[in-house]
Structure formats: structure tokens, C-alpha cells
Chain A
Amino acid sequence: MSTDPKFEIDRGTESAEGDLSVRRRLVTYDYRRLGLGISGLFAFLLVWWVVSLSQPAFVLPSPPAVAESFSEEMSSGEMPTALRQSLRHWIPGAVVGTTLGIGTGLALGWSRLLDDIWAPVVRLLRPVPPLALIGFAIAWFGINDTGAAFIIAIGAFWINFYATYGGVESVSTDLLDVARSLGVTGNLGLLRSVVLPAASPEILTGIRTSIGRSWMLVVAAEIFGVPGIGARIQRASNNLQVDTVIAYILLLSLTFLVIDTLFRWIQRRLLRWH
């Protein structure tokens, strides 16, 4: 280059020191929140324990009783088995429901034509609770893993569909104009290069919500007799083994916590730019 333009830049926002102090503040804030959270947890356990002292075990067992039951179920192998069975419903159900939900959300959010055609059907089907479809699940797939996965997939589908649909609708038309001006042509090109990344915050939030919601559906979907955590809870509950019920509820919570933490980490990495 013959001329070497020397541009001063307005780097006002780029003070590294400023960045650092913000980060430090965030870290202390996180510790404070962690401390508060832990104390809340202890307060909850304490209240539970105190109340349980005045109640018979089949109404509200004490925390130690639950802990004991938890470790018994663990060492007997019943709990790991139930977890494995439930994951066999949850993983395929959530993956299929999420994929179809995102795909349908992209299609209907992007194409006015498809939206016009399908909007009435969507409105009609939306209020149907997944559990109301248990009859269909049994009729179509039988009382088995596929039937349970089907119920979970339905739940995951709607959450992801609406999250994606909303995300696509809110993509700025200006960004689409920019992409077109830079040579992007066709619906697929625009979807891939602009719509999908622009809607990714909403899509990822949808996935995260559906992870939780479909994990809750695992229990409900198994109550009609497919073995898993839900079935185990049902059985223990029939036998008034409330400590076992709570032990499995704890298992549900802990599993969700692990999966959700993992996903949040992925989400943060993917949305560094956000």
C-alpha cells in the first residue's frame, strides 16, 4: 500500500483495566450468591427436619431417613437401573422432540406460506397436554420405551417449536438485507448464514427449558407402567415408602442439575458474542 493511513481509533470502550474490574466484581458477586444459596438450602433442610420430627414416617420422613434410603437403593443397584431406564426414555424423546421442534419452528417462522397453512393446526394441537396422549402412546407403540419416549418428545417439541419460532420471527430484516447484499441467495443460504445464528439465543433457551420440562415428563410417562424412575416412585408410593419416593425425587433433581449445568456451560460458550 502506497499510502499508509494512520487512523486514530476511538478505543474508549476498550480499557482492559475496566474489563478486569467488572470481572472481579462478578466473581465476588458469585461467591456471595453461592453462600446465600447454600444457607437457603440448609434452612430448607432444617425446617424439613424439624417438621418431620412431629410426623409419622409415611407422611414426612426425616432427611437422614431419606439419605439412608438413597444409599440403600444405590447399593442394591435398583436406583442405577431405574436411572438408566429413564435415560433411555428421556434421551431419545428429548432429542427427537427437540430436533423436530426446532425444524418446524424454523420452517414456520421463516415461511409465511407454511405458517399460514399450519397455524390453525398448531393452535388446535398446542393445548393438548402430552399426558392426554398416553392412550395414543399405548395404542401406537405399546407400554414400552418407545411409548414413554413419545410422550417426552411431544413435550419437548412444543417448547422448542415456540422458542425457535419466536427467535426466527425476531431476526432483523436489516441483517437479512445485509446478507443478501453480500451475496447470500435462497432460503437455505439465509437460514444457515443469518436466521439460525441470529435466533440461536432463543433456540438454546428453548432447548434448556425443554431439558427440564421433558425430564419432569419422564416420571409422568413412566407411571403407566414402563420401568424407570417414575415407575419406581409409583411403586414406592403405593407401599407408603415415602422416604424412597423422596430419594428418587432427589435422584431426579440431581440428574437434572448435572445435565442443566452441562448445558448451561455449552450455552455460554456458544453465546460468547451475546
Chain B
Amino acid sequence: MALGQASGNRLELAGVGKQYDSPGGTVQALADVSFEVSPGEFVCLVGPSGCGKTTLFRIVAGFEQPTTGTVRPERTTEQMNMGIVFQEYHLFPWRTVGGNIRFGMEQLDVAADKQRERTQRLVDLVGLEGFVESYPKSLSGGMKQRVALARALAVDPSLLLMDEPFSAVDAQTRRRLQENILDIHEETQKTVLFVTHDIEEAIKLGDRVVVMEKNPGRIAEVIDIDLSRPRSRTTPAFGDLYERVLDHID
């Protein structure tokens, strides 16, 4: 499996807008959002609550259609593999850890022995050795999110799309998962779009940070993060970037 090679297409959003009709009139959730994510790049999308980042996530994921603009490639029409990780894990509770990881491969009719081998590699990659036969109900939040990550990676996606994946776990687990995702990104070279409301997390993880503001939800600034990893938030450069992002969000 192509765990170690750069894979995937460029993700392109052009003029994406979304309007909702509500009893109080039309709500402009997103206006003219355009940016690109290059193959192998790790882009974080950060913004205050209500800036439409979840809507944008759902549009990129193909769960919703934009009112205006385009997203390329489209998951639904172009049959691309997209690995999606949600904030609330959304594991299949009736499947074991291994069963969850295999789910996407079963849809792709991957041969059984290959499924087993790939599942084992992913279990090792996300650090869940010994839990393959466990059911999700017996796992902690952090472990569930590891399963969700492995499940998303199992289809060898050209894009890994993550919606506030670490915000439901405690601070310590969260720090560990952040380190893990960077290691995994380095190893797999997946293209990643990572949505978060946590500025520190965005700067720590992203090659670039797309900052959004609200009313209507639109891009305030796209910032290249030229800090070497691991990044410590105590350095002055980190602090400057933090302030710069915060300016838009306040």
C-alpha cells in the first residue's frame, strides 16, 4: 500500500459560497472562499465558531453542495477516496477496531489477506496494538480517534479531511495526538485539510493556516508557517503568528 509515498490530487476551492434560507431571511454562511491545498501539504483551517468552517468541511467532504463556486476534485462525482475524520469519532459501534479499519477496504473489494496486512500496519501506525478485537465502547476518546484515523487512512485516500478531530479529548491526549498526526503525515505524505478552532493547534500543525472570519464566513488571511517542527508556542515567532491569527478572530 502507498503509505510512504506522496499521493493525491491538488484540492481546489474556487469562489465557494453557501446560502441558507431561514425564517428570518437568507443567511450567507460562506462567501467567496478560494484556496488550494497542494499534494502532500498540511493545511489548517482556523476560525471562530460560526465562521462556517464546518459548513466548508461538509462541502469539501461532499455532504453538502455549495450555492456558488466549485470544489475540485469532487468526492461524490469523481469517485475519489477521501479519508474523513470527525470530531465525534463516529466509529461503527457494532464493529471491532479491526472491523472499523477494514470497512472502507471491504467497499473497495480489497482481497482479504491484503486487508489483514494493511489493517495490521495501520494499527501499528496509530499505536493500537492489542486492541484489534476490541469494540469501540471499551475504548477511550483518544483511542477512538486513533481508530477513526486508521479507518480513514485505510482507503489510501488522496485527501485526509479532519474536522476538529482532537477537540473532544483531554488536553494531554490531545497533545499526544497532535504529535502523532505530524508523524503520520511525515510518513504517509498525505494531503491534509485540518479544521480547528484552536489557533495554537493550527500553527503547530499546518504548513499553511487559512484564517477565516465570520458574518459572512470568508477567508481573512492565508499564512505560511515557516517554523521548523516541532514548534513550541513559547518562541517569539510562534507568539507573533498567534497574535496575527487572533487579530482576525477577535
Contact = CB atoms under 8 A, between A and B. Distances in A.
B124 A181 contact: no
Contact of A183 (B108, B137, B173): B108
A187 B63 CA distance: 16
Interface string B122-143: 0011111000000111111011
B61 A5 contact: no
A1 B127 CA distance: 14
Contact of A182 (B104, B125, B183): B104
B93 interface: yes
Contacts of B83: 181
Contacts of A2: 4, 187
A180 B104 CA distance: 9
Contact of A184 (B107, B127, B139, B172): B107
Contacts of A21: none
A5 B62 CA distance: 32
Interface of B: 3-4, 61-63, 75, 81-84, 86, 88, 90, 92-96, 103-104, 107-108, 121, 124-128, 135-140, 142-143, 146, 151, 155, 172-173, 176, 180, 183-184, 186-187
Interface size class of A (residues with CB under 8 A): 20 to 34
A200 interface: yes
B249 to A, nearest CB: 27
Contact of A194 (B3, B63, B92): B92
A10 B173 contact: yes
A57 to B, nearest CB: 54
Interface stretch (A91-99, A118-126, A169-177): A169-177
A271 to B, nearest CB: 8
A14 B136 CA distance: 12
Interface of A: 1-3, 5-14, 172, 174-175, 177-184, 189, 193-194, 197-198, 200, 272-274
B136 to A, nearest CB: 8
Given A5-B183, A182-B104, A197-B92, A272 B135 contact: yes
Q: Which of A7, A179, A189, A274 has the most CB of B within 10 A?
A: A7
A182 B107 contact: yes
Contact of B143 (A9, A181, A198, A272): A9
B143 A10 contact: yes
A189 B103 CA distance: 12
Contacts of B104: 182-183
Given A182-B107, A273-B135, A9 B127 contact: yes
A15 to B, nearest CB: 11
B135 A182 contact: no
Given A10-B143, A182-B104, A1 B92 contact: no
A273 B94 contact: yes
Closest 5 CB pairs of A and B: A7-B127, A182-B104, A183-B107, A181-B84, A273-B135
Q: Which of B96, B142, B180 has the most CB of A within 10 A?
A: B142
Contact of A8 (B92, B135, B176, B187): B176
Contacts of B183: 3, 5
A7 to B, nearest CB: 3
B176 A7 contact: yes
B184 to A, nearest CB: 7
B84 to A, nearest CB: 4
B187 A1 contact: yes
Given A180-B63, A182-B107, A197-B95, 11 more contacts: A1-B124, A2-B4, A5-B125, A5-B183, A5-B187, A13-B139, A174-B86, A175-B90, A182-B104, A273-B93, A273-B95
Given A197-B92, A273-B95, A14 B138 contact: yes
Nearest to B141: A10
Given A182-B104, A183-B107, A197 B94 contact: yes
Nearest to A13: B140
A181 B135 contact: no
A265 to B, nearest CB: 18
B172 to A, nearest CB: 8
A183 B103 CA distance: 9
A189 B108 CA distance: 12
Nearest to B103: A182
Given A9-B127, A174-B86, A182 B155 contact: yes
A179 to B, nearest CB: 8
